[in-house]
Amino acid sequence: MLSKKTKYGIKALVYLAKQKDRNPIQISSISKSENISRKFLESILLTLRKNGVLGSKKGKGGGYYLLKEPKDIPMTTVMRLLEGPIAMVPCVSLNFYEKCDDCPDENVCAVHNLMLQVRDNTLDIFRNTTLADLSN
């Protein structure tokens, strides 16, 4: 299930992507428009800023802005930053692989094989969807 953190992060990014210019947008504007708690939104935007998706400006006229064009921000990046591993089980994760304690052989494990298909199809969607696709 998608966490509220990721859901709100995507909503905030789409809001920023829809802005005609790339001027900084105050957290209060995003919070009000997208109905997200300001305090929670601050934490989400900080994560995105620390990981190179957003920039920020302090003071009058300050706020957050996209560092890249929306077409250059794939959903794989956003999902991994906010949600963590895309795979539903660690034994099929590309970036966070861990062998399952209860599985003697991944090659014959029905759960492993099913989750590989789920991961691959999910990755296909996230890789081929950018912030631009969501904000049009």
CATH number at residue 54: 1.10.10.10
Is the predicted pLDDT of residue 110 greater than 90, yes or no? yes
The structural domain count of the chain equals: 2
Q: Judge if 77 and 120 occupy the same domain.
A: yes
Q: Judge if 108 and 91 occupy the same domain.
A: yes
Distance CA 91, CA 11 (A): 30
Distance CA 53, CA 107 (A): 37
Q: Judge if 47 and 95 occupy the same domain.
A: no
Distance CA 72, CA 131 (A): 8
Q: Which of 45, 66, 87 is the last residue of a domain?
A: 66
Mean residue pLDDT of the chain comes to 94
Q: Which of 34, 66, 98 is the last residue of a domain?
A: 66
Q: Which of 44, 66, 88 is the last residue of a domain?
A: 66
Is the predicted pLDDT of residue 60 greater than 90, yes or no? no
Q: Judge if 9 and 29 occupy the same domain.
A: yes
Q: Judge if 109 and 128 occupy the same domain.
A: yes
Is the predicted pLDDT of residue 22 greater than 90, yes or no? no
Rounded to a whole number of angstroms, the CA Rg of the chain reads 17
What is the span of the domain harbouring residue 120? 73-135
Split at pLDDT 50, 70, 90, the class of 95 is confident
53: nearest Cα among 89, 17, 102: 17
pTM of the model: 0.90
Q: Judge if 8 and 60 occupy the same domain.
A: yes
Q: Judge if 82 and 35 occupy the same domain.
A: no
Q: Judge if 49 and 94 occupy the same domain.
A: no
Q: Judge if 50 and 20 occupy the same domain.
A: yes
Q: Judge if 62 and 109 occupy the same domain.
A: no
